[in-house]
Amino acid sequence: MKRFAPRYKRFAAPAAAALTGALVLAGCGSGSGPAELSVSAAYMPQPFSDSMAAGFLTITNQGGAKDELTSVTSDLAGSVTVHETVSGAMQEVDSLDVPAHGRLVLASGGNHLMFEKLKRKPTQGEKVTLKLHFAESGTVEVEMPVESATYTPKTGH
Ligand code: CU
């Protein structure tokens, strides 16, 4: 995988429209235009740790151009990093691709977000606000519900 220098690490994001659940960026809808992203299935299992938590979500791209998730920020945490899991071991990556007409899935056991230096411990029932920063689509704000520590999402298939 190509590695990119992190961008927007200190990005002061303009206010983005916050919606509960799915968030859709405006796009041409033709399927051949630029990246057209939506976020679904976001959740954070209530962490056992006072200092660290994981987060999962799916980013769907209905556009005809790829995008890249380049960084993540949240008021909850001093640092949010993107990790991939390779042969059972996780490692930080600088970016992850969101393919054209495809999906980037962050799920338990695979790619995930790592919230570190937590400013408080998130508890089940609350929502954590985070901002996903993309190379092409700018900033997407996500409300991530905190679920039970053992929550497993239904796949819906
Ligand atoms: Cu990790």
DSSP for 84-129? EEETTEEEEES-EEE-TTEEEEE-TTSSEEEEEEESS---TT-EEE
Same structural domain, 89 and 141:
yes
Cα 84 to ligand 1 centroid, rounded to whole Å: 7
For residue 2, the enclosing domain spans 1-31
Q: What does the pLDDT read at residue 154? A: 80
Please tell me whether residues 131 and 70 are part of one structural domain.
yes
Give the distance (Å) from ligand 1 centre to CA of residue 112: 6
> Is residue 1 pLDDT above 70, yes or no?
no
- What pLDDT does residue 22 have? 46
pLDDT digits (tens, 9 = 90+) for 62-104: 999 999 999 999 999 999 999 999 999 999 999 999 999 999 9
Residue 156, in any domain of the structure: no
Q: Is residue 157 part of a domain?
A: no
Residue 90: how many CB atoms within 10 A of its CB? Answer: 16
pLDDT at 24: 52
How far does the centroid of ligand 1 lie from the alpha carbon of residue 92, in Å?
7
Structural domain includes residue 49 = yes
Task: Looking at the structure, tell me whether residues 50 and 80 fall in a common domain.
Answer: yes
* Mean of pLDDT over the chain: 86
In Å, what is the CA distance from 76 to each residue of 82, 85, 120, 127, 141?
15, 23, 7, 10, 14
